[in-house]
Amino acid sequence: ENVLTQSPGTLSLSPGQRATLSCRASQSVKYSYLAWYQQKPGQAPRLLMFGASKRAAGTPDRFSGSGSGTDFTLTISRLEPEDFAVYYCQQYDSSPKTFGQGTKLEIK
Amino acid sequence: QIQLVQSGAAVKKPGASMRVSCKASGYKFSIYEISWVRQAPGQGLEWMGRIAVNTGKTDFAPKFQDRVTMTTDTASNTAYLELRSLRSDDTAFYYCARDDPGDPLDYWGQGTLVTVSS
């Protein structure tokens, strides 16, 4: 199984700052089939990015994704108050479709 | 609009079975897959498996292979997850999500909390 490791576990930043979240896979993710999800307390996860760098419908353009192979990054250019949440990466290239353990983005 | 609406919360005893339903609307149910993902309280997301609605073909994560059944009813556009021999560590929110080969999980149900307790 392709194990995804996210770092950092927790990221403490202030609104207006830039956030950089990392997702590293134990095996290469073919076709960049890597997605990012945002989850807020009491809510289901929401698709943010797919194909490593494509924004899902409704995702603001301050969110961007990059990477290929085994290393992927989600960047939020200028944090808004509503961006503080938990972020998960997921590979959908191979079964089982594994998730990373999550990065909690909290207000500093 | 596309919606996945799940059944309500449940409390089960250890050793029992659980069944969660997921009713889809707003898209052609039969041409997609449904994945099931669970999340223990305060923990991360765990992919359990998926079912191709038109063929019934399933693909399970090894951890759940022996205890899980996934089915669909195309007449009612509903997917079902059954998990047997429940243990306390099966206490979690269970989510259904629309799936398709080569695509991410783009629409999610609201989640169903299943509590396993004696």
Q: pLDDT tens-digit profile of B25-77?
A: 999 999 999 999 999 999 999 999 999 999 999 999 999 999 999 999 999 99
A47 contacts on B by Cβ (under 8 Å): 104-106
Minimal CA separation from B15 to chain A, in Å: 26
Residues of B in contact with A101 (CB under 8 A): 44
pLDDT digits (tens, 9 = 90+) for A68-104: 999 999 999 999 999 999 999 999 999 999 999 999 9
DSSP string, chain A: ---EEEE-SEEEE-TTS-EEEEEEEEEEEGGG-EEEEEE-TTS--EEEEETTTEEPTT--TTEEEEEEEEEEEEEESS--GGG-SEEEEEE-SSSS--B---EEEEE-
Question: B50 to chain A: which residues are within 8 Å by CB?
Answer: 97
Q: Contact B104/A50, CB-based, under 8 Å?
A: yes
